């Protein structure tokens, strides 16, 4: 699967995932809500590390501006 998450979104997802997981671990309650938050935080961390999101792919969203358009890679010094 191609990367579909941009740099800023990756950083945001990684920061949110780490924040959610660390806050759940520090509080220490073990109920269903904390377990769900831990799973969500883990998925956010994985999305941030791999730059891939299956939900975004399913919805047809691509926030990665570095992705080539129509399979073509254009450099700044090249003119279209």
Which of 7, 43, 15, 37 shows the shortest CA–CA distance to 25? 37
What are the boundaries of each domain within the chain? 7-59
Q: At what angle do helices 32-50 and 7-27 cross, to 10 degrees?
A: 150
Write down the pTM of the prediction. 0.73
d(CA 40, CA 43): 5
- 37-52 per-position pLDDT tens digit: 999 999 999 999 998 9
Token representation of residue 74: 């254009």
- 1-37 per-position pLDDT tens digit: 788 898 999 999 999 999 999 999 998 778 898 999 9
Which of 4, 27, 8 shows the shortest CA–CA distance to 16? 8
């Amino acid at each position: 699967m191609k990367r579909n998450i941009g740099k800023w979104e990756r950083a945001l997802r990684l920061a949110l995932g780490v924040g959610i997981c660390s806050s759940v671990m520090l509080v220490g309650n073990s109920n269903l809500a904390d377990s769900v938050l831990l799973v969500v935080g883990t998925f956010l961390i994985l999305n941030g590390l791999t730059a891939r999101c299956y939900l975004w792919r399913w919805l047809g969203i691509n926030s990665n501006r570095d992705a080539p358009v129509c399979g073509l890679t254009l450099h700044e010094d090249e003119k279209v």
